[in-house]
Amino acid sequence: MILFKTIKFKLTLWYVVILVIILSAFSFFLYFTLADSLYKGVDNKIKTMAEIAASSANSSFGAGPSIADLDRIMTERFGVRPLGRFVQILDESGRVGDSSTNLRNVKIPISVQTLTAASKGKTTFETVQVMEKYPLRLVTMPITANERMVGIIQVGSSLEGVEEALHQLLLILLIAVPAALLVTSAGGLFLANKALRPVDEITQIARRIGSGDLSQRIRIKRVNDELGRLASTFNEMIAKLEESFRRVKRFTADASHELKTPLTILRGEVEVGLKKKRTLKEYQRILNSNLEETSRMSRIVEDLLTLSRADMGELAMEREEIELSPLAREVWEDLQILAREKGIQLKFMDDGFTKVEGDPLFLRQLILNLTENGLKYTPSGGEVELKVEGDRDQGVVRIFVSDTGVGIAKKDLKRVFDRFFRVDTARSRDTGGTGLGLSICQWVAHAHEGQIAVASKVGKGSTFTVTLPLKD
Amino acid sequence: MRILVVEDEKKVASFLKKGLEEEYYAVDCAYDGEEGLFMVEANDYDLMLLDIMLPKIDGLEVLKGVRDKGLTLPVLMLTAKDSVEDVIKGLDAGGDDYLTKPFAFAELLARVRALLRRKEREPAGELRVADLTLDPVTHTVSRGGQEVELTAKEYALLEYLMRHANRVVTRTMISEHVWDYHFDPMTNVIDVYVNHLRKKIDLNSSQGLIHTIRGVGYMLEDRE
């Protein structure tokens, strides 16, 4: 049964178990203390009567008063004649002398033990079964005169009242306690149910989310209780999940789109090429084009791999001290050919102390990507400047790459570091970009505890600034 | 049959043009949405191949523009996105069919044939007028059971005439559907090709099928 495993069942069960323990303890305590005090009350009363009887027996009126006298004395002392009490006076040998009228002809037996105890001057309490269904509480007290036992007085009281009361109490407890338990456990179950209903709701929503619908949210009715907080935490978590799923989805869609274009070209060109016999020149053209597409695909795959390994934290980043300005100068020298081909003036400047701690390969790629980008988006006759500058006061090294190129529109500025984001799809593909270069730059900068930023004006050009912590 | 290819990726457009031309279609290319929309309005195309991701004007917008102007030509969409929503959007905007990149070229050809057939409400299979048959899949033509060898243009011309059998076909119609953008209307090249075709089709047969309608054009008809 699933029910037995639910929290509400367990909660109710615990509640009931604890209640059973408390109620039983209470009932036991109540029953036994009441019984004790009732019995003691009876004992006290019969003892008092016995003492009075004994002392009056010792009075100057002579040995042993009559029961009638005793009745009178009792009435005087207690106001009313005590009902249900029996008095019996015995001589020192234990023979019954006189007894109260309500005993009629019944004799209360006296055991040898009690008699011996009385002869030694001791008072004995005992419970005996005499004539009725209720037992009799009996006190046996010696009557002494001049330090000598002259007789024995026995006062008995029926325990009818006491037993009856205790019986009644027991009955009440046996009925009321289970009834109370039944009611409270039903109430407990109801309360647990009510308190835990939002949990069921959360479970249902979670199940729906688990089946792929991340747009589901839990409706929160009470904001400030434990479950309200749980629900809102849960909602926040789902929102984050949804966002990252959306990003992953867009990323895979973009990646597949980027890879599909070269694939389409490869497949289409080969299929059309194979439809009939072609000239050697035609075959060469197709193969060259295929080679171009293949290398474009491998570039994309490589960049994707770099980024996904960076995401997984699998890329081992070297930590060594490097001077940035010679590194940048190398990049500048390597790119001179490309710049000359495009008819762009590529300038280099360095200033100050530019030592940083980091991975030379990745930092080189960062500078290369940014400078190459600058060259790509700058028309012939333009200018690209690479500048490395150490700032001791602020403890940073800055890399500036500025161009006089096409620039980036304001609405696109935020997104240029997004994976596969392109300001102009057609142009970017013509230049052979993968759409991942700036994302890699951003990752390298962040991995070196640095920042990357861009400022741009459409038609005037853009400036990318990388800030890295200076190593003294 | 004349086809407009709207595709920004130059290499894709180029192999599409080449492959389609080898199947005797007349093909023009446009490299962005704006150009595509302009060309589809300016010329009478039988079919449009439309990429969805286009610069300047998005492919879906081009499609809406085409339908808004009341053009009913069949449109085969090419898309790199294969999410269901994109397909639905494209079809609802007035697309007739779609292919996901990368596609098999043979499949593209089959879909193009199917769309053209549907446009003319023709059953699949061979075209037939009297004892002249033309198979659009294998590009074979035969007259009276005898196979006839045709050049690419002759074939395209015959296919057009057969698809419009028993109707008058003007020289303008022929130039718009059989030749591409580079056709020079000042030449008599159409008459030359019709004569070539006549020689191959009608010469060895008792019955002439290609008739000249003086001052208007031509008509392919079984007059017996």
- Could you read off the pLDDT of B178-197 as tens digits, one per residue? 888 788 877 888 889 999 99
Find the mean pLDDT for residues B34-52. Answer: 91
pLDDT of residue A51: 82
3-state secondary structure of A407: coil
Secondary structure of A99-155 as H, E, C letters = ECHHHCCCCCCCCHHHHHHHHCCCCEEEEECCCCCCCEEEEEEEEEECCEEEEEEEE
B56 band by pLDDT with thresholds 50, 70 and 90: confident
Strand partners, A455: A463
Whether residue A280 is predicted with pLDDT greater than 90 in this model: the reply is yes
Residue B53, pLDDT above cutoff 80: yes
Joined together, the tokens standing for residue A161 give: 């009242």
Q: What is the pLDDT of residue A61?
A: 43
Q: What is the mean pLDDT of residues A330-350?
A: 91
Q: How confident is the model at residue A454 (pLDDT cuts 50, 70, 90)?
A: very high
Using the Cβ of A425 and the Cβ atoms of chain B, whether some distance falls under 8 Å is answered with yes
* Amino acid code (one letter) for B37: L
- Map residue A161 onto helix, strand or coil: helix
Q: Return the SS3 of B101.
A: coil
Q: In chain A, which residues have their Cβ closer than 8 Å to the Cβ of B16?
A: 268
Structure ipTM: 0.76
pLDDT at A63 over 50: no
Rounded CA gap, A116 and A107, in Å? 19
Over range B157-164, report the average pLDDT: 89
* Residue A1 confidence (pLDDT): 60
Which chain A residues are within 8 Å of B83, Cβ to Cβ? 253
Counting beta carbons within 10 angstroms of the beta carbon of residue A135, is it exposed (0 to 12), middle (13 to 18) or buried (19 or more)? middle
Mean pLDDT confidence for B103-108: 92
Please tell me what DSSP assigns to residue A433.
-
Can you give the pLDDT at residue A452?
93
Cβ count near A469 (within 10 Å): 15
Q: Look at A254 and A60; give whichever has higher pLDDT.
A: A254
Q: Mean pLDDT over all residues of chain A?
A: 83
How much is the pLDDT for B5? 96
Give percent above pLDDT 90 in chain B: 30
Residue A62 in this model has a pLDDT that exceeds 50 = no
Mean pLDDT score across all residues of chain B = 88
| Helix (H/G/I), strand (E/B), else coil: B175 | helix
Distance from CA of A294 to the nearest CA of B (A): 14
Q: Are A369 and A399 in contact (CB under 8 A)?
A: no
DSSP A344-372: -EEEEEEES--EEEE-HHHHHHHHHHHHH
Look at residue A68 and tell me whether its pLDDT is greater than 90.
Answer: no
What is the signed CA dihedral for A63, A69, A70, A71, rounded to 10 degrees?
A: 170
More confident residue, A344 or B124: A344
Percent over 90 (pLDDT), chain A: 22
Please answer whether residues A269 and A289 qualify as being in contact, where contact means their C-beta atoms are separated by less than 8 angstroms.
yes
Chain segment A214-235, per-residue pLDDT in tens: 787 877 776 677 878 888 888 8
Does residue A60 surpass a pLDDT of 50? no
Say how many residues make up chain A.
472
What's the gap in Å between the CA of B193 and the closest CA on chain A? 25
Q: Does B173 touch chain A (CB under 8 A)?
A: no
Interface of B with A in 79-98 (CB under 8 A): 80-81, 83
On the 0-12 / 13-18 / 19+ scale of CB atoms within 10 A, A433 is: buried
Q: Residue A21 pLDDT > 90, yes or no?
A: yes
Before A198, cis peptide (omega within 30)?
Answer: no
Element (H, E) at A21: helix A7-57
Distance CA B7, CA B29 (A): 7
Contact B19 A424 (CB under 8 A): no
CB distance A358 to A468 below 8 Å:
yes
Burial of residue B149 (CB within 10 Å: 0-12, 13-18, 19+) is exposed
Taking residues B25-40, what's their average pLDDT? 92
Q: Is B7 on the interface with A (CB under 8 A)?
A: no
Cβ contact, residue pair A426, B55, below 8 Å: yes
Q: Report yes or no: B117 at the A interface, CB cutoff 8 Å.
A: no
pLDDT reading at A13 higher than 80: yes
Supply the pLDDT for residue A77: 64
- Interface touch A267/B102, C-beta < 8 Å: yes
H or E stretch including B128?
A: strand B127-129
Q: What share of chain A is helix, strand, coil (3-state, %, to 5)?
A: 55, 20, 25
The C-alpha atoms of residue A372 and residue A366 are separated, in whole angstroms, by: 10
Kindly tell me if the per-residue pLDDT of A118 is higher than 70: yes
Mean pLDDT value of segment A53-60: 64
